[in-house]
Amino acid sequence: MVFTSHIFLFYFLPLVLLAYYLLPRGRNWFLTIVSYVFYGWWEPWFVLLMMFSTVLDFVCGGVIGAPGASGRKRKIALVAAICGDLGLLAFFKYYTFTAENLNRLAALLGGGSLPLLDIVLPIGISFYTFESMSYTIDVYRGIVRQARRFSDISCFVSLFPHLVAGPIVRYNVLAEQIAFRTHTLDKSTAGIAMFILGFAQKILLANPMGKVADSVFGAGAPLPIDAWVGVVAYAFQIYFDFSGYSDMAIGLGRMFGFAIPENFRSPYRAESITDFWRRWHISLST
């Protein structure tokens, strides 16, 4: 499910918002469940991977934050969480690539070969892996206390507004908001306006720019002026695509009482490469 689909706009989002504001309590659990539905819409078993990462970091965070835990025990828990999270990410992103190259090397040396698995890369796995891992790291550094309830960390990791395309939000940014947040008319209307702005960037700007770029890149031998048009179109396509989804995520977050930080700050106005990376995908750079 994507933010620009009619299923999300006319069915999922209105029903979730209605139920969320009618609930007297248990809103974090509710957001966790609907976020699992949102994420599992593509492939239901993807949810199991997110659950594994969440449970792993929740348990390791509990060990790290336990009163009287020794330094050695805390380090072991931290390493276990990081290895588990990054191992999961590495398997799905790089197993096929690694296996193919090892098989080529083995063929030259006359050895056997590794099985090539038909691995489907789960959508957004990089985003929620880094976010889940940030919880354990923040607890280890003493920036935040361990989550009081599993619903706190599960809501943080699975929160659907920023689940698929970011921004990547560290646990210390949302920890207090998950425990307590306010809901006001001003915050909700600002969120709606932000969502509409991001939606317009994606539909009215990014998608048409993408069509221009695709037609130029698909041409056999484009003229220099056409090639430059394609390059410029692609530059604005990727910007409005990322920026649009980020703005939609920030707007959705405000509708549910969360203040998700901005992710883009006019990167094409940067005065240097360093300044560009400070402005482009701020959450990833941070």
**For the chain, what percent of residues have pLDDT higher than 70?**
96
Integer Cα distance of 57 and 254 in angstroms: 26
Over the stretch 18-61, which tens digit does the pLDDT of each residue have?
999 999 889 999 999 999 999 999 888 889 999 999 999 999 99
Integer Rg of the chain from CA: 21
Q: What predicted TM-score, i.e. pTM, was given to this entire model?
A: 0.85
- The token duo for 115 is 């099985």
Integer Cα distance of 125 and 283 in angstroms: 16
Over the stretch 146-170, which tens digit does the pLDDT of each residue have?
888 899 999 999 999 988 877 888 8
236: pLDDT confidence band, cut at 50, 70 and 90? very high
DSSP helix/strand/coil, 131: helix
98: pLDDT confidence band, cut at 50, 70 and 90? confident
Report which DSSP code applies to 176: H
Report which DSSP code applies to 261: P
Domain boundaries, the chain: 6-179, 185-285
DSSP helix/strand/coil, 225: helix
Q: How far is CA 84 from the centre of its chain?
A: 18
Over the stretch 250-286, which tens digit does the pLDDT of each residue have?
999 999 999 988 888 888 888 898 888 888 888 877 7
Which residue, among 1, 19, 3, has the nearest Cα to 251 in the 3D structure? Answer: 3
Integer Cα distance of 116 and 159 in angstroms: 33
Residue 124 confidence (pLDDT) above 70 = yes
Q: How far is CA 107 from the centre of its chain?
A: 39
DSSP helix/strand/coil, 4: coil
